[in-house]
Structure 1
């Protein structure tokens, strides 16, 4: 019999995805696939709960492969939270996608979810690398299902994530070499070149500055369901890896602080609301990266809590815009507006997600983001604190106000559509309830805090100072938005393409490559011409000298060639004799 307690729970979700891929595309198998889509994450979550109840630090699946010890299953205080979270996200995403009849989407979603769960439960760097790459390969199909414009974006997405995996593996080998062959995945640091390679690999997946563009490129081009699923796992998997391997590394403080700020400016002028949410995703990841750099119990608990609620409220926002796109066929702010009349439930749920990401009191991020800010203050990191404070107001502007405003309440686009399908409403309602319950001041946030992996002194988010300060910040952002709109200063929503740093390699870099290729072709052409002329002239001279009608034949005595041949043979024999002796 198979011992369930020795197998990484994520593998069962992957197996369910492979089974779904083998089912023929018929109406009967459609219901079986949807059952697996919902049941597999629940089963994996139940296994994680059972394993953790046996031992607080549960280590199983230890293998010896080619002299390397692999730990395929490790559940501790840190990986436990991510394991639960990814199973919960898999369940909500499965419900949201019940209307989908695409076998590829169902199987890819399950394999992607399972690889993310298995990856965060990996105890060594080789196992981590394997599932790191499986998440990339399985998720690219969700991008490609977005339509004709998604193919190139999917190729770019796949290339950069495979490259990230190559860096991760190279760094892991170098780190293990410095440890005497130990591949255990614990704190890594930046004391070795391998540590730098691994941090860059993780930075690609979580969107470090100048490495972030794959999100804004791929997420808006994926299918409606695919975008929701993509937003749940890849970046949070990378945050887990950073939290495990680079806690307290100072450079991450500044990297994270920059990440919180620069997406604000792009999101303000972006017209595609799914790209706005992709920039907002990058902004929120910055808070987590900054918290990892600060380190310590308070900051790390803030990171873990922020990751947990972020998957829920960011998923809720992507789901609400996805529902609008499903009914209207567009996610462009310039083409939407007034939809609260025909999609009222979706509008209310979107507002809950918007309030949660903006950290309104009684909503999700209010009880988690503040811990990271408080940790920055405790360490006297005034500049990063100010940058995160600015970013908090910015996220209120672009995700808390802009997304719901231009979708549901701005100028009436005249669209009258049906409400979102029932399964989408169920998934969004579940996420909305969690956004409220996990921040509820009477026992709700304490449930979230009970999952925290690090011991800390009792932190109380609902104090007068915190509530009043946060409301002042949020209402200042609302006032600024209203004032700018009133006087026509706020950027108008228009069809346009926002130039980001990817222009450096997608436009400038491409043009440089084409110019270099053209110059190389021209150089080869000139060298070829010169070569032909030189060889032609030399050949002509040799022919003139040694042909039967040439100068040598005319001027030399008839016996001279025989004498030269004999001399050459004599010299050759002497050389062979000397070398042979």
Structure 2
């Protein structure tokens, strides 16, 4: 096979194997150098299909390049490097190996030129991301990992059914734009949306990510949902159902994030919210919208990982993850607090941050398409984002009433990783053309107009005012927010318990009837065939007694006559 047909993902797969084979400084070198080599390899992939491999009767295309694919692969490689830098001193080797193999699956999806290759890398992600969840090392992580695996295996089966249907119907395994118009295309769309954490099958994200380790959640935040966004852009641009679904995701994530007490669950629900913006953009389907979805996915990976890094340092240093247990940490954790605030401003689309220059493209695409109701929904959602992620997360973790905790700030490698992503958030906000020049379509958009800047500043100002006015209502307690996973974790269990109790009751009734029948048959047997306990023949059953010869002959004659009569009838 020519080297051009080898996916850059293979570099990370080799690195994942080496992480388990080498130790010490050699392992550190593999962790930090492999992503950089992968990034170099990504930019060596030219546009177009790089060759085919015959598999059964199909022509598989392992590598296909395009600006869209390279951009997603680029941010994934950057994520692996910064995530490795963040984690290498405290993460266990098998967690890092699983995380690198997980990232390899994501980059493999980026360059997959056909549905078969895409599916194989898709399942590779599901396998190794489950291991990353399990590396949390707690009973909660083990059970959450099992639920995570079940959900993603189900999603993989649904996706595979759809792919098989499309292949049978069209005879092609090519990745090409389609609409959800029949059973097969709907199955593909549903399989992708499961990975995108679209409600009502989104609870796996907020269930599993907070149960992983402080370093594992950083990797988990980046790959699964964003590869789903890439798949939607490649396969379902302009699918109308995605607009409504995306808006629902946006509002759903905001509501649950506002209710949450666990700092990483707040950020997990925020992922659902932010992916909702991208899903809306894919549904709009114009060049501006797809550029917005792509740019926002890039920016989201950076600032969301930064927020998870900030939360991870807090958990690593304090061992606590509840808002009511934290507060006042800015005194001894200024670096972590500053980076967390920058990430919070970026996710809130504050001017001069990456979120402003990317999310506003999606709103502009809605305006250009005369979708005013979509624009108004996204605007309201932007205010909600500032409430739950822009203010709530940093306020309750770093600035609310002093918790008395005085932990150390981040270790040097964690601090450096956060600083890199914080700098990138600001760089892409100040110089958006650095990102715009990499987008799949030509960009004719100016984010920094007086009207846009003033509008977003007013929006964020009044959102902040609303937060502090309603602060007594924002304070959390030790409660649990019921999500749709309750349907299969509790309701389904209760239904099965009722069925089990019903079968137990039925079994008890059958057992009682069996005992009664047994006693009845025993009584008949004793009455007619019973043997005496003494020599007295009067105690024998009717057919066990000694009968006189005449009586016996009479009964034999009667029975024979009855048999002959029945025979001739």
TM-score by length of 2: 0.90
Q: Secondary structure at the match of 2:62?
A: strand
Name the residue aligned to 2:12: 13
Q: For residues 61 and 542 of structure 2, what CA distance do their matches in structure 1 show?
A: 81
Cα offsets for 1:180-226 (capped at 9, x unmatched): x2111222321220111111111111111211101111111100000
Superposed, 1:120-139 pairs within 5 Å as 120-139=110-129
Name the residue aligned to 2:142: 151
Q: Secondary structure at the match of 2:223?
A: helix
Contact 2:354 2:428 (8 Å CA) reproduced? yes
Superposed, 1:185-224 pairs within 5 Å as 185-224=175-214
Identify the match of residue 281 of structure 1 among 263, 271, 277. 271
Cα offsets for 1:33-65 (capped at 9, x unmatched): 22222222211211111122xxx32x2352121
Name the residue aligned to 2:153: 162
Q: For residues 497 and 119 of structure 1, what CA distance do their matches in structure 2 show?
A: 36
Cα gap change, 1:540/1:425 in structure 2, threshold over 3 Å: closer, same or farther? same
Contact 2:351 2:453 (8 Å CA) reproduced? yes
Cα gap change, 1:32/1:540 in structure 2, threshold over 3 Å: closer, same or farther? farther
Contact 2:11 2:34 (8 Å CA) reproduced? yes
Contact 1:33 1:106 (8 Å CA) reproduced? no
Name the residue aligned to 1:453: 440
Name the residue aligned to 1:474: 460
Whichever of the two has the greater Rg, that structure is: 2
Cα gap change, 1:538/1:168 in structure 2, threshold over 3 Å: closer, same or farther? farther
Q: Secondary structure at the match of 2:455?
A: helix
Q: Secondary structure at the match of 2:426?
A: helix
Aligned-pair CA distance for 1:501: 2.2
Is residue 172 of structure 1 aligned with residue 163 of structure 2? yes
Cα gap change, 1:210/1:550 in structure 2, threshold over 3 Å: closer, same or farther? farther
Q: For residues 190 and 542 of structure 1, what CA distance do their matches in structure 2 show?
A: 71
Q: For residues 160 and 522 of structure 2, what CA distance do their matches in structure 1 show?
A: 55
Superposed, 1:489-568 pairs within 5 Å as 490-527=473-510, 530=513, 549=543, 555-556=555-556
Stretch moving more, 255-264 or 38-47: 38-47
Q: Secondary structure at the match of 2:222?
A: helix
Name the residue aligned to 2:32: 38
Identify the match of residue 424 of structure 2 among 418, 434, 440. 434
Q: Secondary structure at the match of 2:406?
A: coil
Name the residue aligned to 2:532: none
Cα gap change, 1:406/1:101 in structure 2, threshold over 3 Å: closer, same or farther? closer
- Give ranges in structure 1 of 5+ residues lacking alignment: 24-28, 568-581
Superposed, 1:100-499 pairs within 5 Å as 100-146=90-136, 147-179=138-170, 181-440=171-430, 444-456=431-443, 458-485=444-471, 488=472, 490-499=473-482
Cα gap change, 1:120/1:536 in structure 2, threshold over 3 Å: closer, same or farther? farther
TM-score by length of 1: 0.89
Q: For residues 539 and 183 of structure 1, what CA distance do their matches in structure 2 show?
A: 71
Q: For residues 275 and 255 of structure 1, what CA distance do their matches in structure 2 show?
A: 21
Aligned-pair CA distance for 1:18: 2.2
Aligned alpha-carbon RMSD (Å) = 2.5
Q: For residues 373 and 142 of structure 2, what CA distance do their matches in structure 1 show?
A: 41
Contact 2:18 2:30 (8 Å CA) reproduced? no
Size of the alignment, in residue pairs? Answer: 544
Q: For residues 361 and 409 of structure 1, what CA distance do their matches in structure 2 show?
A: 23
Q: For residues 532 and 18 of structure 1, what CA distance do their matches in structure 2 show?
A: 64
Q: For residues 184 and 536 of structure 1, what CA distance do their matches in structure 2 show?
A: 72
Aligned-pair CA distance for 1:482: 2.0
Cα offsets for 1:471-521 (capped at 9, x unmatched): 111111011112223xx3x32222221122222222222111111122123
